[in-house]
Structure 1
Amino acid sequence: MTGTTALNGKNGSCWTATAGPTSYSPLEGSIHAETVVVGAGIVGLTTALRLCEAGRSVIVLEALRVGRQVTGRSTAKITTQHGLIYHDLMRNLGQPTAQSYADANRAGVRQILDWAAAHAIDCDLETRAAYTYTADPARRGEIEAEANAARQLGLDAEVLDRAPLPFSTAGALRFPDQAQFNPARYAIGLARAVEKLGGRIFELSRAVSIDEASRWRVVTDNGTAHAENMVVATNMTVKSPVGMANRTQPRSHPVMAFRIDDPTRLDGMFLGIDNPTRSIRTGRDDAGPLLVVLGPKFNTGQDADVARRFVELESWARANLPVGAAAWRWCNEDYDTPDRLPYVGEPDPDKSPGFHIATGFNAWGISNGTAAGILISDRILGQSCPWEKLYDPARPYDKEFHINGQSQSIVGSFDEIGPGEGGVLVSGEKKIAAWRDETGELHTVSATCTHKGCTVSWNNADRTWDCPCHGSIFAADGSVIHGPARKALPPASL
C-alpha cells in the first residue's frame, strides 16, 4: 500500500492536453486491407503513411486515441543524440553497427522534418541544439569519447567546456540543428495525411485477439480486420510469434512541465549523464511557454512510492532552473533492451510471414520509431532497408536482462487504505486490487494482470495499476491503458 502525497501540477501530458480532439469511429463489422496496423503512435502512423504514399491499402486500429499514449507522453526530442550511445555501440558491437544506428536515426529525423513541412503539420516544431552534459569533471573524458565516436559516424558533434544551463557543468557534447515538437500534434497530423491518401483509421478499437486464418485477422470488440500484413506497433507488442516481453525491461520516468517566463533562457535540449539523470527542454501549452523536466527511470510497477519521485524532481527543478508554477505531471513508460537497440521487423518470417513488430526503444522512440516505420514499410513493399539487421527482433539476447518484480502494494486489510490510496489484499488464491476515492468509497478489481498473471502495484502518482513484470498499465477502474495486456482487470468482489 502506498500513501497519498500532495503533488503539484495537473496529472496529464502537456502535449496530449493541447493536441486537440480526434474523432475517428470505432471499427464495426468486417473489413479488409493489404496491411493492418495496430497502434496509432509514431511507429504505426509512419508505417501507414509510407504505405499509403506507395498506393497500398492500410487500416490503422488504435485502442484509445491517436497519439495519446506513449508517443504523446514522451519528451519528444527529434535528435540523433542519445546520450553516450555511439561510443558504447562501437566498443561493444563494432563500428558497422554504430554506423547503421546513426544512419537509421538520421533518416528518422529527416523523415519527421520532411513530413512536417510537406503536410503542413502544426506541431510546434522548433530547431534546437541537443546537449549531453556532466557536472562531474571526472566524466569529461566520456563526453570527449562520445564526440569522437559520433564524428567518425558522420555526425556533427562538438565538445564544450560547459553546457548553456543556469547551473554549473563540467563539460557538454553539442549536436547542432536537432529539433523538438509536440508529438501528439505530429501524430494527429500523420493520421490526417494517412486518411487523405485513402488509409482508414479507427479509434477506441482495441485488438482483443490477433490470429492467422487464410490471412491475418484482428478482432476488436465490435469488428474484425483482415490483411495480408500485420504490424503490431504498440509500446510492448500485444502479440508476437516469439516472446518479446522477456527480451526487454519496462521502465518509467516522472515528467513535469513548469511555467517559465522567458523560454529563451534555456536555448537547447539537455540530457545529463550523471545519476540521477535529468532531461530538460522547453515546450508550450495553450496557456504559454513551459519548461519540461524528466527525472530518472525506475522499473515499472516496482516502486512503492512513485509520488516521491515527483516531489524530488520538483525540488531539483526549483533549485536549479528558472521555473514557476507546476502545470503538468505524468509518467511515461518505455522498454529497454540489453544491447540498447530496438526490436523491429519480422520475428519469424518463415512461420509467421508478414507479421511485423516494433518495441524496445530505450526512451528514444521518436527518431528510432520513425526509422522503425521506414523499415517495416520497406519490407512490406518488398524493398531492402539498410538497418534491417540492426533491429533484428530475433537476434540473441541476454536472458538475465529482464527482471520480474513483486507487487509493492500488499496490505493486510482494506482498513489500511485511506482516501486516494490503493493496495492489494491477498486472501488465499484471491488477490484484490482496491483504491479508495476522496469520499472514502472503495473500488475493487482483480489484482492479477491479464497478461501473464503477475500481481499489480498501485501507482500513487498516476493512480494506475502497474504490472511489475511486463509493464502493462491499467486505469484505476481496471481498463487497459496499454499492454502487453489486452484485457481489463475484471471486477472483484470484497
Structure 2
Amino acid sequence: MTIVTKTASLDGKNASCWTAAAEHTRYLSLAGTHKAETVIVGAGIVGLTAALRLCEAGRSVIVLEALRVGRQVTGRSTAKITTQHGLIYHYLIRNLGRLAAQSYADANRAGLDRILDWAIAHGIECDLEIKPAYAYTTNAARYGEIAAEANAARQVGLEAEVVDRAPLPFDTAGALRFPDQAQFNPVQYAVGLARAVEKLGGRIFEMSRVVSIDEGNRWRVLTDAGKTDAENVVVATNMTIKSPIGMANRTQPRSHTAMAFRLSDSTQFEGFFLGVDDPTRSIRTGRDDKGPLLLVLGPKFNTGQETDVAGRFLELESWARANLPLGDLAWRWCNEDYDTPDRVPYAGLAEPDKSPGFYVATGFNAWGISNGTAAGMLIADRILGRPPSWEKLYDPARPYDEKFHINGESRSMVESVDDIAPGDGGVVVRAEEKIAVWRDISGQLHTVSAVCTHKGCTVSWNNADRTWDCPCHGSIFAADGSVVHGPARTPLHPVDL
C-alpha cells in the first residue's frame, strides 16, 4: 500500500487572495416553494452571466448557490480576461478547422467585451485593468510555434504580434503579445453581477445546495429546505451535478496550485504572462486589502491523483523566488477545472429532444473567465430564441474521445491509522469498508467514508488544502466530509472507526 505523504509546513493563508478584498451581500437560503421561468444552479461567472442576460430581457430567474456568490471556482481563478489561451488557435485550425477556430475566437472576444461593458454599465468595482497578454517561451527552439500561433490568431481576426522577449525579469526566447486584454478581481465582479441581477428582479439564494433535479410538467429543483419549479434549468457548477448525457465522462478533472506574494511595485509588470514550456507558469499582478500582489501558478495535475500537493507548492515557491522580485507569501490555494478532448468547452442544451430546457456548462480547460462568460451568454440567448454563431462549436452532445477520461485510484491508502501523522489524512481498509481518516493537530482522529458519493470511487487526501479529493470525477470534500464542490451532491457518509 502507498504510505501517505506528510503535510509540509507551508506559509501563507490557505485561501484565494480575491476574497480578502471583496465586499459581499448576504443572500437568504432557499425555503418553501418558488417558481421561475429559469432556475440557475451555481452563482459563478457562467450562472450569473446567464442570469443577468435573462434579467435584462425581462425574464424570471432564480439563482441557487451551494455556498457563497463567486467564491468557488470563479473566485479561485487567475481571472485573466483574454482571448489568448496559450497556443490554442493553431491547434484548433489544424484539428477542428478554420471555421471552428473562428467561432472560438468570436465567442471569447464576445465574452471579453461583455465583461468590460457590464463592469462599466453596472458600476462594478473589481480592480479592472487593461493589460497586454503574453505567451512566452524560454526555449529558442519553440520560437516557430509562437510565430505560427500569431499567424493563426490573425487568421481569425485577433490582433497578435511576436516579440523577441517578454517584459519579465528573467530571460525569455520570444513571446506572443495580444494587446488590450484585461484582468480583474473575479469575486468582486461576481458580487457586482449578483447585485445587478437582483436590481432587475432576479432572485438569488445562497447556502442552498441542490440535492436533486427532476423532470415533470416542469423542471423541479430541490434543496434541503425548498424547491423551485421552472421551464428551464441551467447547471453551471463547474462539473455538472446532473446531466442527461453524463458530462463527467466527457471531461478530465485537473487542478493547479496558485500563490500570491507581496509585491512592492506592481508597475514593473506591464502585462500578464503564460509560459508555454513544461512545466507551465502563469504570472499576473493583483491586490488584496493590504496592497499589491504577484500571483504565480504552477502546472496542472489530475485531481486526486497527486501524492504530494504540498510539495507542488514548495516547488512553485522555489521557482518563483529564484526568478521574480517577491516579498512574503500572503495566500496560497488550489483551483480545479475540467479539460475536454478538443480543448473546447461544453455549453448549451444537453439533450434537446429528450430533455428540453436542460442546459449545462463545463470543461473550460482553465480558461473559464472569457469562455464562461461566452457560455452564459450562449445559454441565455438560446433561451431567448437568439442563439449565437458559436452554439454548434460548444454543443455538449458532440462526439468525443471516450478514452480521454481516466479514472484514477486513491493515492492515500495506509496500513493503519498509526501511519497518519498529526495534520495528515489517509484511507484505511476495515473488512470491505474504506475509511477516510484525518488526524488533527492535537492527534484526534476524524473519520468518514472514503467512498465518493458521486460514483463510488475512493477519495485521496490533499495534504495542502486538507481536503478529500475524488480521483475519478473531481468532487472535493472538506476534511469533515462536507461537499466543497461537486459533481457530488451529498457529504461523505459518517463512519465510526
TM over 0.5: same fold? Answer: yes
Q: What corresponds to 1:35 in structure 2?
A: 38
Which of the residues 258, 263, 267 maps onto 2:266? 263
Q: What corresponds to 1:176 in structure 2?
A: 179
2:179 aligns to what SS in structure 1? strand
The question of 1:92 aligning with 2:101 is answered no
| Displacement of 1:267 | 1.1
Measured in 2, the distance between the counterparts of 1:208 and 1:198 equals: 25
Which of the residues 6, 10, 21 maps onto 1:7? 10
The question of 1:398 aligning with 2:394 is answered no
Q: What corresponds to 2:227 in structure 1?
A: 224
The question of 1:73 aligning with 2:79 is answered no
Measured in 2, the distance between the counterparts of 1:8 and 1:147 equals: 39
Measured in 1, the distance between the counterparts of 2:270 and 2:83 equals: 18
Which of the residues 335, 340, 343 maps onto 2:346? 343
| Displacement of 1:490 | 1.3
| Displacement of 1:19 | 1.4
CA deviation vs aligned residue, 1:432-469 (integer Å, no higher than 9, x gap)? 10111111111111100000000000000000000000
| Displacement of 1:71 | 0.2
Which of the residues 323, 327, 339 maps onto 1:324? 327
The residue type equivalent to 2:452 in the other structure is C
| Displacement of 1:385 | 1.2
Measured in 2, the distance between the counterparts of 1:254 and 1:240 equals: 29
Measured in 1, the distance between the counterparts of 2:24 and 2:203 equals: 17
For residues 235-246 of structure 1, the aligned pairs below 5 Å read 235-246=238-249
Which of the residues 469, 472, 490 maps onto 1:469? 472
1:365 aligns to what SS in structure 2? coil
Measured in 2, the distance between the counterparts of 1:62 and 1:189 equals: 15
Measured in 2, the distance between the counterparts of 1:20 and 1:462 equals: 24
Measured in 1, the distance between the counterparts of 2:94 and 2:244 equals: 32
CA deviation vs aligned residue, 1:458-492 (integer Å, no higher than 9, x gap)? 00000000000000000111000100000000111
Measured in 1, the distance between the counterparts of 2:147 and 2:186 equals: 31
2:188 aligns to what SS in structure 1? helix
| Displacement of 1:384 | 2.4
Which of the residues 254, 272, 275 maps onto 2:275? 272
Check whether the contact 2:341–2:401 (CA below 8 A) recurs between aligned residues: yes
CA deviation vs aligned residue, 1:55-87 (integer Å, no higher than 9, x gap)? 000000000000000000000000000000000
| Displacement of 1:18 | 2.2
Measured in 2, the distance between the counterparts of 1:480 and 1:230 equals: 22
Check whether the contact 1:163–1:169 (CA below 8 A) recurs between aligned residues: yes
Check whether the contact 2:51–2:63 (CA below 8 A) recurs between aligned residues: yes
Which of the residues 7, 26, 30 maps onto 1:23? 26
The question of 1:374 aligning with 2:380 is answered no
| Displacement of 1:22 | 2.9
| Displacement of 1:265 | 1.1
Q: What corresponds to 2:217 in structure 1?
A: 214
Measured in 1, the distance between the counterparts of 2:163 and 2:386 equals: 41
Q: What corresponds to 2:489 in structure 1?
A: 486
After TM superposition, the runs of 4+ consecutive aligned structure 1 residues lying more than 3 A away are none
The residue type equivalent to 1:251 in the other structure is R
The residue type equivalent to 1:51 in the other structure is L
| Displacement of 1:415 | 0.9
Measured in 1, the distance between the counterparts of 2:384 and 2:204 equals: 20
1:116 aligns to what SS in structure 2? helix
Check whether the contact 2:260–2:294 (CA below 8 A) recurs between aligned residues: yes
CA deviation vs aligned residue, 1:334-391 (integer Å, no higher than 9, x gap)? 0000000000011110000000000000000000000001100011011121111010
Aligned identity (percent) is 77
Measured in 2, the distance between the counterparts of 1:205 and 1:387 equals: 32
TM-score normalised to structure 2 length: 0.99
Gaps of 5+ in 2: none
Measured in 1, the distance between the counterparts of 2:398 and 2:73 equals: 25
| Displacement of 1:158 | 0.7
Measured in 2, the distance between the counterparts of 1:9 and 1:151 equals: 41
1:82 aligns to what SS in structure 2? coil
Check whether the contact 1:252–1:299 (CA below 8 A) recurs between aligned residues: yes
Which of the residues 404, 410, 413 maps onto 1:407? 410
The question of 1:128 aligning with 2:134 is answered no
Q: What corresponds to 1:137 in structure 2?
A: 140
The question of 1:288 aligning with 2:277 is answered no
For residues 301-316 of structure 1, the aligned pairs below 5 Å read 301-316=304-319
Measured in 1, the distance between the counterparts of 2:386 and 2:134 equals: 35
The question of 1:425 aligning with 2:425 is answered no
For residues 90-169 of structure 1, the aligned pairs below 5 Å read 90-169=93-172
Measured in 1, the distance between the counterparts of 2:418 and 2:218 equals: 52
Measured in 2, the distance between the counterparts of 1:284 and 1:44 equals: 25
| Displacement of 1:428 | 2.2
Measured in 2, the distance between the counterparts of 1:473 and 1:59 equals: 25
CA deviation vs aligned residue, 1:80-106 (integer Å, no higher than 9, x gap)? 000000000000010000000000000
The residue type equivalent to 1:32 in the other structure is K
The residue type equivalent to 1:217 in the other structure is R
The residue type equivalent to 2:14 in the other structure is N
| Displacement of 1:266 | 1.1
| Displacement of 1:25 | 0.3
1:204 aligns to what SS in structure 2? coil
| Displacement of 1:159 | 0.2
Check whether the contact 1:218–1:225 (CA below 8 A) recurs between aligned residues: yes
1:208 aligns to what SS in structure 2? strand
Check whether the contact 1:27–1:205 (CA below 8 A) recurs between aligned residues: yes
The residue type equivalent to 1:491 in the other structure is P
Check whether the contact 1:2–1:423 (CA below 8 A) recurs between aligned residues: no
| Displacement of 1:16 | 1.9
Q: What corresponds to 1:44 in structure 2?
A: 47
| Displacement of 1:209 | 0.4
Which of the residues 364, 367, 392 maps onto 1:364? 367
TM-score normalised to structure 1 length: 1.00
Check whether the contact 2:24–2:191 (CA below 8 A) recurs between aligned residues: no
Check whether the contact 1:22–1:65 (CA below 8 A) recurs between aligned residues: no
Check whether the contact 1:2–1:458 (CA below 8 A) recurs between aligned residues: no
Q: What corresponds to 1:234 in structure 2?
A: 237
